[in-house]
């Protein structure tokens, strides 16, 4: 019996210790299911991935992403409960976050009270502190990659989508161009080496967006957006926003163009905006051998569907090297007119985007013709807005507004347009 099954099969299939209930998303390389643990009855999100549709480089990236999630246990980082290999398919058993993603939350609320923003950013700080301790840079922080356990302003927050994440040696630097331009740090845009401070720039964009309802920078294209960021002066705020001094101060210190002048992770975590009434319940939690009742072994690799989750049957080495090898681009009927950005500073509910070949794996798995708008997918555990990303490596391919791929040396392109 092929318990891996086809992506479009009926619900009720058994995969290891889990039963697939109903599909909740689909993409070019995967089917996403709402699942349930047979014995415990706990709901999970199950991503069924057809490995034969991935290139060798994408397979390596997937296995590296799994390795990162298995190594890191924290209440503000999405939990990988299990990973199961069945024939040519891999099933990722993830936390089911009923509250949707932070982007959908922003679409509903436009802007949030400072107390709510503080609640979310504190948790983001806790998760980033854990990544820092683990020498991991996420490299693609944005509201679409931040999931909420519940659909309210007191929800627990989870950092997700580690498709671009990278292990760094202490004091090490990365130099791969990747991520989502709207949240990309200037040093990444300029193809300079960068570290965990690149993630803090992304946090600054997110905080600004939470308290004002719009991102601090905009542009009619990716290049114009980057040009505006690189030439911006002191960060300004809308006149109708009444914000505390500490909130404004944190935004400005996170969004300093020079990474040398930007806050460190430690300074960010200890900033006065986050210090009052710190979430002790979250900060005091330490990793254990269980995640929400699931057995968890930090070194446990992907297993076969018929084996115990504790058996190490398929060890995968960590390989985060970058390269140009890629799988066929997923097809999509969604229109693409704005390079993944709204042409105004308001959040765009309707703009679609065909995924770049270099998008993060978790984002790509759920993107495709059946991908629902944010307003229709609030119960989805890994919801993303279709947003273009800059690919890894030099000579990255881009996408024309009509959907045609174009190749260019992005670093030269930046040099010609942003100097």
Angstrom CA distances, 295 to 69, 85, 149, 292, 298, stand at 14, 18, 20, 9, 10
- Specify binding-site residues: 47
Degrees (nearest 5) of the Cα angle 348, 143, 97? 115
**Residue positions in the annotated binding site for ATP?**
47
Render pLDDT for 161-188 as a digit per residue (tens, 0 to 9). 876 665 444 444 444 434 567 888 777 7
**CB contact at 8 A, 160 and 146:** yes
140 is catalytic: yes
Confidence band, pLDDT 50/70/90 cuts, at residue 234: confident
Considering only CA atoms, which of 290, 293, 291, 312 is closest in space to residue 303?
312
Highest mean pLDDT (candidates 166-170, 284-288, 361-365, 380-384): 166-170
- Three-class secondary structure of residue 259 per DSSP: coil
Alpha carbons within 13 angstroms on the beta-carbon side of residue 343 total: 5
Give dist(CA 232, CA 15) in Å, integer: 52
Of 277, 253, 279, 249, the residue nearest 265 (C-alpha): 253
What average pLDDT is seen over the chain? 68
pLDDT exceeds cutoff 60 at 311: no
- Distance, in Å, from the CA atom of 171 to the CA atom of 72, rounded to the nearest integer, reads 19
**pLDDT of amino acid 1:** 31
Res 405: pLDDT: 36
Query: Cβ–Cβ contacts within 10 Å for residue 293, how many?
Result: 11
DSSP 145: G
Q: How far is CA 67 from CA 14, 17, 389, in A?
A: 24, 21, 23
- Top pLDDT among 328 and 204 is at 204
Please state the length of the chain. 419
Helix (H) or strand (E) holding 19: strand 18-26
Contacts of residue 380, defined as CB under 8 A and 6 or more positions apart, other chains included, come to 24, 25, 32, 100, 366, 372
Active-site annotation holder among 67, 82, 140, 199: 140
Structure tokens, 208: 């600004």
Pick the more confident residue, 110 or 339.
110
Question: pLDDT tens digits, residue range 62-118?
Answer: 887 888 899 999 999 999 999 999 988 999 999 999 998 999 999 999 999 999 999
The two three-digit tokens of residue 185, written as one number = 């740090």
Lowest mean pLDDT among 169-183, 267-281, 402-416: 402-416
Distance between CA 391 and CA 7 in Å, rounded? 27
Given a contact cutoff of 8 angstroms between Cβ atoms, the answer to whether 164 and 136 are in contact is no
Please give the pLDDT value at position 359: 33
Which tokens belong to 153? 């302003």
Q: And the tokens for 148?
A: 């909420």
pLDDT of residue 398: 39
pLDDT value, residue 182:
81
* Phi and psi based region of residue 349 (left: phi greater than 0; alpha: psi -120 to 50; beta: remaining): alpha
Name the residue with higher pLDDT: 339 or 65. Answer: 65
Token pair recorded at residue 44: 């999970």
For the chain, domains (ranges, CATH) are: 14-95 (3.30.200.20), 100-274 (1.10.510.10)
Percentage above 70 pLDDT, the chain: 56
Percentage above 90 pLDDT, the chain = 35
Q: Could you tell me the pLDDT band of residue 277, with boundaries at 50, 70 and 90?
A: low
- Alpha-carbon distance of 70 to 125, in angstroms, equals 20
């Amino acid at each position: 019996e092929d318990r891996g099954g086809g992506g479009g099969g009926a619900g009720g299939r058994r995969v290891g210790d889990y039963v697939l209930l109903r599909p909740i998303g689909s993409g070019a390389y995967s089917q996403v299911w709402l699942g349930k643990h047979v014995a415990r009855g706990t709901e999970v999100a199950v991503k069924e991935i057809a490995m034969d549709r991935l290139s060798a480089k994408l397979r390596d990236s997937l296995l590296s992403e799994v390795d990162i999630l298995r190594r890191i246990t924290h209440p503000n980082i999405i939990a990988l409960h299990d990973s199961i290999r069945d024939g040519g398919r891999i099933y990722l058993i993830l936390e089911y976050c009923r509250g949707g993603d932070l982007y959908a939350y922003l679409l509903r609320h436009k802007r949030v009270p400072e107390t709510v923003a503080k609640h979310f950013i504190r948790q983001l700080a806790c998760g980033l502190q854990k990544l820092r301790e683990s020498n991991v840079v996420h490299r693609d922080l944005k509201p679409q990659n931040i999931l909420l356990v519940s659909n309210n302003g007191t929800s627990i927050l989870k950092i997700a989508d580690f498709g671009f994440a990278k292990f760094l040696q202490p004091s090490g630097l990365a130099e791969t161009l990747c991520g989502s331009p709207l949240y990309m740090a200037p040093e990444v845009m300029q193809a300079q080496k960068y570290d965990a401070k690149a993630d803090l720039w992304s946090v600054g964009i997110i905080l600004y967006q939470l308290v004002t309802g719009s991102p601090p920078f905009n542009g009619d294209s990716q290049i114009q957006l980057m040009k505006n960021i690189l030439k911006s002066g002191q960060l300004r705020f809308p006149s109708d926003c009444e914000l505390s001094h500490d909130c404004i101060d944190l935004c400005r210190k996170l969004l300093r163009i020079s990474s040398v002048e930007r806050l460190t992770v430690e300074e960010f975590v200890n900033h006065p905006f986050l210090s009052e009434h710190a979430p002790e319940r979250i900060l005091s939690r330490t990793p254990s051998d269980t995640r929400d009742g699931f057995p968890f072994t930090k070194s446990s690799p992907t297993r076969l569907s018929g084996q115990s989750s504790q058996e190490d049957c398929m060890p995968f080495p960590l390989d985060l090297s970058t390269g140009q090898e890629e799988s066929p681009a997923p097809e999509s009927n969604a229109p693409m007119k704005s390079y993944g950005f709204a042409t105004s500073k308001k959040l765009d509910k309707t703009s679609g985007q065909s995924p770049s070949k270099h998008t993060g794996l978790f984002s790509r798995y759920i993107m495709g013709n059946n991908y629902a708008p944010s307003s229709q997918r609030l119960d989805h555990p890994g919801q993303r807005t279709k947003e273009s990303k800059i690919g890894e490596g030099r000579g990255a391919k881009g996408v024309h507004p009509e959907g045609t791929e174009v190749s260019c040396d992005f670093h030269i392109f930046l040099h010609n347009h942003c100097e």
